[in-house]
Structure 1
Amino acid sequence: MSRRRAARRGSAALALAAALAAAPRPSRAQAGGDAAAAEVLFEQAIALMRQGDYEQACPRLAESQRLDAGVGTLLYLAACYERLGKTASAWATYREAADAARRQGQADREQQAREGAAALEARLARLLVEVPAGSAAPGLSVRRDGQELAPVLWGTAMPVDPGAYTVEASAPGRLPWSTTAAVDPAGGTATVTVPPLAAAPPPPGARPAAPAGASAAQPAAPPARPAPREAAGMPAQRLAAVIAAGAGVVGIGASVGLGFAARARFEEAAPYCDGDTCDDEGVEIRGDAIDLARAGTVVFLVGAAAVAAGGVLWLTTPSPAASAAGRPAVHVGLGPTGLSLGGRF
């Protein structure tokens, strides 16, 4: 992009914000109490924007839009977010306004919204949360400011408003971890890497593990008492089965959500396509849909494999009654070095 074109886009964004502050309110089609409340909030917000109080104006515009949606309100809200320094919120709201204006045939407003979004594109700040393979414990949950981050978003630099963000991670049987990341208003990408979570200490009253070599000095256990390895191995294997199956179910659910998102994105390309022939906008939208569909397929396959592994672990857990009777049994256990396989025949 040439400097002249970039300057023209920046000037267009400033002109849009100035025009919004002076323009008349957008018309509202909905009737009833919600429309009346939306109108009052809208008038208050415009007055606050003219006074430069964007901190108070933006929430009123957002609530007005929720009560009675309109393209004009979205444009005001995007300009308010931009003046407040919330670049990611402004960028997303401009894009939402452009889509709404396109659906309603409002070409002028669509162009205004797209110019506003384009002017913010280069200034967007992003937050990248990385989860290396060594940190991906079973049942791992990663949250940003308390909101769950789906595994498909791990490793993706997401646009965010400048500020401080708390990133947390937790998993069954592991100590929780958290850190704070500062996102620079000047743009760029802040990266947070989730480390391997430490194992949680045993609960109070749990029997400590015997030191190495101590078993030789201990008297032999009575024959009628079950072996400690069998008593401890069975619940550990069942727990591993539940964790693996649970993680698989979560993955399958996430793949279904990605499938619906891909279908919705594909349908958005209809206005730009004639059969299999699409313009540049349609090609980009369909490309997004294909990427979402591929991600959903990969997540589904991983989830299905995890559910299958959980089923194998559950079904191969030896029965205490079979062990006592001396019948053949297969034992699969989890230890510090990985998966172990044993049995009695």
Structure 2
Amino acid sequence: MPSSARRCPLLLWTLVPLFVSAPAAAQDIAPAEVLFDRGLADMDAGRYETGCKALAESQRLDPRPGTLFTLAFCESKWGRVATAVTRLNDFLSLVERMPPDQRGRQAERAAAAREERARLAPRVPELALVLPPNAPAGTVVTRDGQTLGEASLGVGLPVDPGEHVVSTRAPGGPVWERRVAIAEGEKQQLTLEVKAPPAVREVAPPPPASEGGGEVSSGRRAAVYVAGGVGAAGVVLGGVMGALTFGKRSVVAEHCGAGIGDSREEACDVTGFDATRSARTTGLVSTIGFGVGLAGLGAAAVLYWTEPKQDGPVVGATRAAPRWVGAGVIAAGPGATVVGARGVW
């Protein structure tokens, strides 16, 4: 088929752009002509794959009824019967829209197209793709890279004979893919598979903390350290002062002839008098130091052992009891009062 078959009559198609898909740009006409000639030569030589692709590109660049007609027969010879029938239908639909006089000039081509379509129609295979009932909403189905809408599923659609690649993908899930072969005239239905999205591990949220709980715990722990430090310093001071007080006893005994608690300071010489006064001062400081020290250490212990704790670990069906400590008067009597702490931990 010479290239004039594509362009004849050229004037007719120039005057009637209504019947051409769209007027080609000037720079596309020459490449389209070259591609048509090359595609026609490959088609005549039996190289249908390269020939049909060249003709299809020529039609895309410069749509013409003659190119469309030639392309339909090339697809038929290549064995792509479903595509060939689609091309023939497009050509015949184009001819039907032409005015009567122009339609008459295409009568021979139209007759050949109808005859070829009738010959190919029984050979067109049909493939129906069906989603399983449990397929999640939004599952995407593709066939040879083309996404199929919901209306295309479950219906036998014409396809070219050979191998086709179908795939599914649920939202967030992996791709399931399968290759399916179909022969001329075969009607096949394939139930697809859909891979579920990977299970999401649920991480238990941390137990809710009471409002300001972190700040309270941090402040309480700081108070434990401060109270413990003061208590330790008080005990050290009391011990040092107590040692100094005991060290004065021998001086007082030698220079006063009486104990440190004796009020008869007039019996002491100057050395004994100074030792007595110094011993009383260091003894007082020792007593105060021990008192402050014991109070600080006691306060630190109470603060630590009464600090709020999270629930204990689960043991069987019960939880370990939280520890508690209370401070106060343990016993009192006519001669003494005992102060201490008690609790469970």
Query: TM-score with structure 1 length normalisation?
Result: 0.50
- 1:174 equivalenced with 2:173 (yes/no): yes
Checking the alignment, whether the CA contact within 8 Å between 2:5 and 2:66 is kept in structure 1 is no
2: distance between equivalents of 1:59 and 1:222? 67
- The 3-state SS of whatever aligns with 1:122 is helix
- Could you tell me which residue of structure 1 aligns to residue 108 of structure 2? 108
How far the C-alpha of 1:198 sits from its partner, in A, is 2.6
How far the C-alpha of 1:25 sits from its partner, in A, is 3.8
Flag the 1:115–1:223 CA change in 2: closer, same or farther, 3 A: same
How far the C-alpha of 1:84 sits from its partner, in A, is 0.7
1: distance between equivalents of 2:169 and 2:92? 39
Checking the alignment, whether the CA contact within 8 Å between 1:61 and 1:73 is kept in structure 2 is yes
Give the RMSD, CA atoms, in angstroms.
2.8
- Could you tell me which residue of structure 2 aligns to residue 26 of structure 1? 7
Q: What do the CA deviations read for 1:277-298 (whole angstroms, capped 9, x no partner)? A: xxxxxxxxxxxxxxxxxxxxxx
- Could you tell me which residue of structure 2 aligns to residue 67 of structure 1? 61
Amino acid across the alignment from 2:137: P
Q: What do the CA deviations read for 1:100-156 (whole angstroms, capped 9, x no partner)? A: 122222333323222221211100012210113322x12211111221110110011
Amino acid across the alignment from 2:156: A
- 1:252-271 residue pairs with structure 2 within 5 A? none
2: distance between equivalents of 1:175 and 1:208? 23
2: distance between equivalents of 1:54 and 1:139? 39
Checking the alignment, whether the CA contact within 8 Å between 2:127 and 2:187 is kept in structure 1 is yes
Identity of counterpart residues, as a percentage? 36
Flag the 1:111–1:21 CA change in 2: closer, same or farther, 3 A: same
Flag the 1:197–1:224 CA change in 2: closer, same or farther, 3 A: farther
Flag the 1:221–1:130 CA change in 2: closer, same or farther, 3 A: same
- 1:269-308 residue pairs with structure 2 within 5 A? none
**Given the alignment, which residue of 87, 92, 101 partners 1:93?**
87
- Could you tell me which residue of structure 1 aligns to residue 47 of structure 2? 53
Higher-RCO chain (CA-CA 8 Å, sequence separation at least 6): 1
Amino acid across the alignment from 1:194: L
2: distance between equivalents of 1:118 and 1:100? 18
Q: What do the CA deviations read for 1:235-261 (whole angstroms, capped 9, x no partner)? A: xxxxxxxxxxxxxxxxxxxxxxxxxxx
How far the C-alpha of 1:46 sits from its partner, in A, is 1.8
Checking the alignment, whether the CA contact within 8 Å between 2:170 and 2:196 is kept in structure 1 is no
Checking the alignment, whether the CA contact within 8 Å between 1:128 and 1:156 is kept in structure 2 is yes
2: distance between equivalents of 1:82 and 1:92? 11
Checking the alignment, whether the CA contact within 8 Å between 1:92 and 1:117 is kept in structure 2 is no
Flag the 1:224–1:44 CA change in 2: closer, same or farther, 3 A: same
Amino acid across the alignment from 1:74: L
- The 3-state SS of whatever aligns with 1:62 is helix
2: distance between equivalents of 1:46 and 1:196? 44
Checking the alignment, whether the CA contact within 8 Å between 2:139 and 2:170 is kept in structure 1 is yes
Q: What do the CA deviations read for 1:194-216 (whole angstroms, capped 9, x no partner)? A: 235334133xxx4468xxxxxxx
Checking the alignment, whether the CA contact within 8 Å between 2:51 and 2:74 is kept in structure 1 is yes
- 1:164 equivalenced with 2:158 (yes/no): no
- Could you tell me which residue of structure 2 aligns to residue 327 of structure 1? none
- The 3-state SS of whatever aligns with 1:134 is coil
How far the C-alpha of 1:22 sits from its partner, in A, is 10
2: distance between equivalents of 1:158 and 1:59? 23
Runs of 4 or more above 3 Å deviation = 20-26, 28-31, 206-209, 220-225
Checking the alignment, whether the CA contact within 8 Å between 1:145 and 1:166 is kept in structure 2 is yes
- Could you tell me which residue of structure 2 aligns to residue 141 of structure 1? 140
Q: Show structure 2 runs of 5+ residues with no match.
A: 15-23, 212-345
2: distance between equivalents of 1:36 and 1:175? 47
Flag the 1:173–1:65 CA change in 2: closer, same or farther, 3 A: closer
- 1:122 equivalenced with 2:122 (yes/no): yes
Checking the alignment, whether the CA contact within 8 Å between 2:42 and 2:51 is kept in structure 1 is yes
2: distance between equivalents of 1:56 and 1:91? 19
Flag the 1:25–1:147 CA change in 2: closer, same or farther, 3 A: closer
2: distance between equivalents of 1:88 and 1:45? 20
Structure with greater Cα Rg: 2
- Could you tell me which residue of structure 2 aligns to residue 80 of structure 1? 74
1: distance between equivalents of 2:3 and 2:68? 16
Flag the 1:31–1:145 CA change in 2: closer, same or farther, 3 A: closer
Amino acid across the alignment from 1:26: R
Flag the 1:31–1:180 CA change in 2: closer, same or farther, 3 A: closer
Q: What do the CA deviations read for 1:73-103 (whole angstroms, capped 9, x no partner)? A: 1111011111111111111001111111222
Query: TM-score with structure 2 length normalisation?
Result: 0.50
Checking the alignment, whether the CA contact within 8 Å between 1:21 and 1:50 is kept in structure 2 is no
- The 3-state SS of whatever aligns with 2:46 is coil
- 1:145-224 residue pairs with structure 2 within 5 A? 145-184=144-183, 186-202=184-200, 206-207=201-202
2: distance between equivalents of 1:34 and 1:222? 71
Number of residue pairs aligned between Structure 1 and Structure 2: 192
2: distance between equivalents of 1:174 and 1:24? 52
